[in-house]
Amino acid sequence: MTTENNIRWHQSLVNRADRAKQNKHKSVILWFTGLSGAGKSTLAHAVEGRLHALGCRTFVFDGDNVRHGLCSDLSFSAADRAENIRRIGEMSKLFIEAGTIALTAFISPFRADRAKVRALVDEGDFLEIYCHCTLEICEQRDVKGLYAKARQGLIKDFTGISSPYEAPETPELSLDTGALPLEECVEKVLELLKTHGVIA
C-alpha cells in the first residue's frame, strides 16, 4: 500500500482569508532571483524591514541559511538545486497559507524550477523579482571569494561561471541592482505589493 492511500488533507477551521483579515494584509511569495552577488538577500531583508515596520507578518528564506538546515543534505548539482527549490517552494506555500509574506532569496538559476514553484500556488501568489547585475559587479561584491574559487576550478557547477543562469523572461519586477540604490529598489518592491493588493 502506498503512502498516498494512508494520508488525507485535513481542512483547517481557520483559513487564509481569516488570517489576512487579522493581519490587515494579504500573503504572497516574493521570489528574488539572480546571480550570486546580485543583491537578492540584501534587498529581501531590506524589504522585510520596511514591511515589518508597517506591521506586516514576514519571513525571509535565505539561500545560505536554508542550506544549514532544511536542505543541508543537498549539493549544488542540477538535480539537488531542483530539489532545493522544490522544498523552498513547498515551504513558501505553507507560509502564505499561514498569512505570511514569504520573501525568498535564491539564485534559482533554472526557469523550469521557478515555474514549478509558481504552479504550486494560485495566480498572483508568486511574484518573481529579477535582480539583474553584471557578472563583473557580482564578482567585485564577492566577499566570500566564491567566484575566484570557481574560476580556479575549485567549485564545480557555479552559476555564471561553470553553470548557466536562465534569466526570467516575464518577471513581475526587474531591477538593475548594479545601478539602482538599495532604497529605490525597496520602494519599487513595495509599489509592486501595493499594485497587487497585498498591502495598502
Closest of 181, 193, 160 to residue 34, by C-alpha: 160
Task: Compute the distance between CA of residue 177 and CA of residue 39 in angstroms, rounded to an integer.
Answer: 7
**CA triplet 62, 158, 82: central angle to 5 degrees?**
60
Provide the residue type at 60 as one letter. V
* pLDDT tens digits, one per residue of 3-17: 667 777 777 789 999
Residue 181 is predicted with a pLDDT of 98
Q: Could you say which of 36, 41, 92, 108 is catalytic? A: 108
Q: What is the pLDDT of residue 3?
A: 61
Report residue 170's pLDDT band, with 50, 70 and 90 as the boundaries: very high
At what angle are helices 78-97 and 111-120 packed, to 10 degrees?
20
Q: Which of 107, 126, 103 is nearest to 116 (CA)?
A: 126
Q: Decide if 162 is catalytic.
A: no
In sequence order, which ranges of the chain are alpha helices (DSSP H)? 16-23, 40-53, 63-66, 78-97, 111-120, 135-140, 146-151, 182-195
**Residues 115-128: tens digit of each pLDDT:** 999 999 999 999 99
Give CATH for domain 127-200.
3.40.50.300
The residues pairing with 175 across neighbouring beta strands, listed in sequence order, are 131
**Which tens digit of pLDDT belongs to each residue from 86-111?**
999 999 999 999 999 999 999 999 99
Q: What are phi and psi of 163, to 5 degrees?
A: -145, 140
Listed residue (131, 145, 147) closest to 179, CA to CA: 131
Q: Name residue 126's beta-bridge partners.
A: 29
Segments making up each domain of the chain, as ranges: 67-125, 127-200
In order of 19, 53, 128, 157, the CA distances from 30 in angstroms are 18, 18, 6, 26
**DSSP 8-state assignment for residue 135:** H
pLDDT band of 68, cuts 50, 70, 90:
confident
C-alpha dihedral (25, 29, 35, 37), degrees to nearest 10? 40
Q: Quote the pLDDT of residue 138.
A: 96
Return the SS3 of 15: coil
